[in-house]
Structure 1
């Protein structure tokens, strides 16, 4: 018996859940647990392990803040929301066990998380069979509506980032030859494939591609290999601020004066990148971010985001001080999207109805990060219009970032 089954056994299953588990757990949302009283909502996050420091804790904080507001206003359909926390430990096997606990033992009717694609892909059969809706922040293009019909993602996917970055490099920077550095993750591979497709369609030369392992601290060999191809623009895809910092530090130490078009992580985690590489490493670098987290000097300001930052600081000062506030905002928004979908579905929590409502009506929900644009063929909640190029070093209040297209 593995440790997850042992944990579940010790806590004890309800009779209904145990019978369901023995029969292969074919159940629907709401089968387990009382139909009156609080509605249980699962938090399925990487609270320990590789992603905990920058994403999952912030995601939990965003949901908790929104739930506190919703409960104070009367809940959903007169029922209070009760959060049940599950830690995937950034491990797919642990994640499957924890998702089964949430569904079979706890009887959750909605799930938030995870932020790691591989963890959700392993656990997806559990929520699919139970017909439970969920919103996470994963980027793999393999997570389609066919694969997970009731799941949606707040993350800007790899294909969207690729199109945005290629457009920046070619249309704005006028690059004729480009090279790519990326990590070895599933989303990065999707990104590289999408970039190659875009470059081929535009007739632009790809001079080389290089990969690095997560948490590498010296990317000098990769940069040197790319330099031999003599590109005039570098496209850089990273999944964390730490890796981004080490990569740009290596490039700066190499002394290669070339422009870098970075992805969303270079924008969202700019403060972490700067702590490792120094502000000077951003001298010739742009990144990407959600429009709702950006500003123009003397012009447009992200009012909703700044108001949320202040609310978060009042709600949990210590946690807000160390949280990745962009993820607080994304999951705060996602919680209100859940509320709108349930209410729009007549107060029902079944996954098929919620998913259909989100596909058709999510654009009517006004969030902090930007406009929702999911479809029946894509459950990524944001498209390219939600993404803007930013100057990562130019940050204002609450680390909002200056858009690169602001009028000078």
Structure 2
């Protein structure tokens, strides 16, 4: 059986399994509208400007796409689903999107655990999706039609260890991270990297996501006397509270932060204060950074201006990083559907993205994906930044320009 026949058979079997409740996929719909699901944490414990920004990015792109004629001649209609940052609610909302609303594509979520719970539903429907989760457990086998815009935990771990050891010359390193699935992958990868380099891991402490005081964890780490702390936080708020706790302890130690420290630097600074960023580096997508006196991320700045014109109030409080990530993702979806001849089924979209994503020019950077990895950005997309040194629209200064 050929690969195309095998894909066709899987699609047929999925439709038979869902025949009583699931209408035909958008690839075979007769109407001229394609439904796009937004599956995001808009309320609940993990609700933040991240999900709101993701929604803004998709909606801005869809407005532009519809004004230009739609995707393969079909206009796009948005259907919003709020996971409430709850895996059980997320499963119910995903069922609503694919079984009742019969969406053709899904954007979101931004929390790994929520997607992992809902994955069997979207897998069975063979609906493609692009979210922003970083857990390494979300493999191409686990979720064959899903792609992530997030820099994964493995990439961040290697970048941060390199910064701490090669640049900061640390001989002893400690870790502070949250308890999420992505953070656990990060810690495991850091341990492997440090062992390979012969660098001592003095301690690792976890905090509950959305905690506002990390003093106990930092006190425990301080007793281990590290040269450097690696901060892995899943939000700007968490990064801000972690640095505030560190500053209040008066502990003079350099911090290598993950991409949340870079991408959400304004939020971090608002909570911790500018002085708390004095000995901190972060990570960010290269497309959102600049060199002092040199190149500026023109395409990103142009997108920021468009977002402010489109939705001034939301743009004012949104993380423009996530606006850009999901704005780009919407145009990748368009390219995939039109590139495969107008098919909306998961196997067709997936095959096109795996083989052709690098041909799509986005605001964020060049896509790098394959049949083995559906993380859309690799290590070459990530740079070290000075989160305390920011320009227009909170772009960060790159280290080592």
Q: TM-score, with normalisation over the residues of structure 2?
A: 0.93
Aligned counterpart in structure 2 of residue 211 of structure 1, from 199, 206, 211: 206
Give the structure 1 partner of residue 26 of structure 2: 30
Q: Which one of 35, 49, 56 corresponds to residue 51 of structure 2?
A: 56
Count residues in correspondence: 387
Compute the displacement of 1:52 (Å).
2.9
Counterpart position of 2:235? 240
RMSD: 1.7
Q: Is the 8 A contact 1:28 1:132 kept in 2?
A: no
Match of 1:8 in 2: none
Structure 1 position 76, deviation (Å): 1.2
CA distance in 2, matches of 1:35, 1:57: 32
> Does structure 2 conserve the Cα–Cα contact (< 8 Å) formed by 1:291 and 1:387?
yes
Partner residue in 2 for 1:124: 119
Q: CA deviation at 1:51?
A: 3.3
| Structure 1: distance between partners of 2:102 and 2:328 | 24
Is the CA contact 1:296–1:402 (under 8 Å) kept in the aligned structure 2?
yes
Q: 1:241 Cα deviation (Å)? A: 1.2
Partner of 1:162: 157
Whether 1:263 aligns to 2:258 is yes
Residue 50 of structure 1, CA deviation: 2.8
Residue 63 (structure 2) aligns with: 68
| 2: CA distance, partners of 1:262 / 1:71 | 39
Secondary structure of the structure 2 residue equivalent to 1:44: strand
Q: CA–CA distance in 1 between the matches of 2:238 and 2:205?
A: 14
Q: Report the 3-state secondary structure (helix = DSSP H, G, I; strand = E; otherwise coil) of the residue aligned with 1:159.
A: helix
Return closer, same or farther for 1:28/1:385 CA change in 2, 3 Å cut-off.
farther
Moved >3 Å (runs of 4+): 19-23, 25-28
1:382 matched residue in structure 2: 377
Aligned equivalents of 2:202, 2:123: Cα separation in 1: 42
Q: Distance in 1 between matches of 2:126 and 2:212?
A: 42
Aligned-pair CA distance for 1:22: 8.1
Tell me the secondary structure at the aligned position of residue 38 of structure 2: strand
Instruction: Decide which of 37, 43, 49 is 1:42's aligned counterpart.
Output: 37
- The question of whether the paired residues in 2 share the 8 Å contact of 1:63 and 1:332 is answered with yes
Q: Does 1:301 align with 2:296?
A: yes
> What is aligned with 2:167?
172
Match of 1:90 among 63, 85, 88: 85
Q: d(CA) in 1 for partners of 2:140 and 2:276?
A: 40
Q: In the alignment, what sits opposite 1:3?
A: none
Match of 2:277 among 278, 282, 291: 282
Unaligned runs of 5+ in 2: 1-15
Q: 1:395 aligns with which of 381, 390, 395?
A: 390
In structure 1, the residue matched to 2:316 is 321
Find the counterpart in structure 2 of residue 135 from structure 1.
130
Gaps of 5+ in 1: 1-18
CA distance in 1, matches of 2:188, 2:33: 45
Contact persistence 1:28–1:350 (CA under 8 A): no
* CA distances 1:169-228 after superposition (whole Å, capped 9, x unpaired): 111111111111111111111000000000111111111111111222222221121122
2:18·2:125 contact (CA, 8 Å) conserved in 1? no
1:292 paired to 2:287: yes
On the 8 A contact 2:384/2:398 being kept in 1, the answer is yes
Q: Which position in structure 2 is the counterpart of 1:229?
A: 224
SS of residue in 2 equivalent to 1:52:
coil
With structure 1 as the length reference, what TM-score do the two structures score? 0.92
Q: Would you say 1:355 and 2:344 are equivalent positions? A: no
